[in-house]
Amino acid sequence: MSRLCEGRVAIVTGAGRGIGREHALSLAWHGAKVVVNDLGGNVDGTGGDVSPAQQVVAEIEAMGGEAVANGDNVASWEGAQRLVNTAIETFGDLHALVNNAGILRDRVLVNMTEEEWDAVINVHLKGTFAPSRWAAAYWREQTKAGKAVSGRIINTTSVSGIYGNPGQSNYGAAKAGIASFTVITALELARYGVTVNAVGPVALTRMTEGLASAPQTEEDRELQNPRWIAPIVTWLASEQSAAVSGRVFEASGRMLAVAEGWVRGPQHEPVDDPNQLGPVVAELLAAARPNSGMNGVPGGPPQPRPGQ
């Protein structure tokens, strides 16, 4: 078997459990040296315990790989810098950053508190921005120094964000923001030899187990196994993916797909009188595709389903 990431150095945030753990193990299996980052908190972000990250490091070392644990908070400016520095100081370089860390504070809008909003936005959105910013700064300096760069940023979005899921306005807004962040930073970082992509996983983990009924069969459990997300992330972290940037993928045990972004639909000449807009808007909407449901199909169902 070809080892796609032989000699590369990768950071995976939120890698102590679930999907992140699978990313770290897969990258290590394919030859990457891995910084296993995990604050070790609960699903809602409270608490902290570095032992899950250390356990993943032990698993990687047991398979003959190299890894180091890191317990920094990715939403901390200084913590994100330390995280990136950990890779460079421990392994001498950085090639791939997988932004996977996240929490949930689900609540319908009328009941959501300011703290529940801020906590989720902070971990997901700032926790993607801050490590990416420090990694990008490192790669820019490498480029300025005349070194060839093959950098990869792989972000974690969600079908809850790009399609919409009731009860997750905080989480969905953060994940939709990450999708846009992916597209924009891909344009900015191309000059430095860096690609930026995102993956929207669908898997059963401790974060998603309350969003749908438990799988009833062994086949269902296998299809919802988080291991199905790791292959596309591993490939995106490799040098083989150099021509792919600014794209959002969906991944699960049922499919691998590309999510198509916003496009301009039906249009009309400008109208300067609001009184005339009713029929015009009705005409536009009649010709437009409806919003996609959580299954990614226009007009599809909005009901909750597992998806980080």
Helices 51-62 and 18-29, interaxial angle, to 10°? 30
β-bridge mates for residue 37, sequence order: 70
Q: Is 138 a catalytic residue?
A: no
Name residues whose C-beta falls within 8 Å of residue 126's C-beta, 6 or more positions apart in sequence. 75
Q: What angle do CA 304, 129, 146 make, to 5 degrees?
A: 135
Name residues whose C-beta falls within 8 Å of residue 189's C-beta, 6 or more positions apart in sequence. 136, 139, 151, 153, 195, 196
Residue 167: C-alpha distances to residues 73, 159, 206, 304, 307 (Å): 26, 13, 17, 9, 13
Of residues 138, 163, 171, 192, which has the active-site annotation? 171
Side by side, which strands form the sheet with 67-70? 67-70, 33-37, 9-12, 96-99, 151-156, 194-201, 248-251, 256-259
- Which residues are catalytically annotated? 171
